[in-house]
Amino acid sequence: MDHFPTNWGRPRNDAYDPYGTFPLPHRPNNHAKDTFAEGVQRTQQPIVTGTSVLALKYKDGIMMAADTLASYGSLARFKDVTRLHPVGNYTVIGAGGDMSDFQYIQKFLDELIIDEFTAQDGHDLGPAQIHEYLSQVMYSRRSKINPLWNSLLVGGFKDGKSFLAYVDLLGTTYSASTLATGYGAYLAQPLLRKEVEGKEDTLTAEEAVRIMETCIRVLYYRDARSIDKYQLATITAEGIKIIDSRPISTSWSFAEGIRGYGAQTQ
């Protein structure tokens, strides 16, 4: 901030400083300030953000779900944003956090897949390789104090094996049979663990869809940054399938009994 009132544009006598703020010969100039004069600026907080991403293992592969809202602060600004992105033939990534950083991640992953294809060496990148690459990129950016502000789930199916893992803006990584980012880590993860853990080899696709719908519904009720439309992705031996956004059924009849909300006012 410029603390010299004589530089604020107020008319004055050039021979006399009525504010007595600084010796006239040494007064700072009125030239335009360069935005980057004090060094490179870093992102201090995410701007347009997505909330929870959910994922689980079932007997045929991996299922992932995410709603389609991107919020500008607390404003539900963009209501048809795709937060599940296919990478190659075996992998899908789901992102919470800053959407512009996610678009950057999509761009360099697509370039990586193109480079791998043009090599024509008989190898394809699988989900484990994509996750390892992302973990290195995220940790590198964190070490430069310029993180990509995202929490990512990486799910895939290759060579008869399911893969599901997490990586965030600090480069933290872990793997489990059920994962969730954002608010879903608090509300949906207990539901997923109860329904899935120990049943990964017997859980059918229909049961997995029902579980996902229940979790998305709970998040819509409780998470102010969510919306009642979501996308579903499955990664199996048959390939990747991402279903277009669909609405989730909800019921608000319980609200009638809440004091101050429905008919009950006392």
Active site (catalytic) residues: 43
- The CA-atom distances, in angstroms, between 13 and each of 4, 8, 17, 221 are 15, 14, 7, 63
Identity of residue 243: I
Report the 10 Å Cβ neighbour count for 234: 22
Dist CA 203 CA 200 (whole Å): 6
- Tokens 């996610």 — which residue? 102
Dmax (CA) of the chain: 88
- Tokens 């410029």 — which residue? 2
| 3-class SS of residue 182 | coil
3-state secondary structure 166-233: EEECCCCEEECCEEECCCHHHHHHHHHHHHHCCCCCCCCHHHHHHHHHHHHHHHHHHCCCCCCEEEEE
Residues 18, 19, 25, 31: is their CA dihedral positive or negative? negative
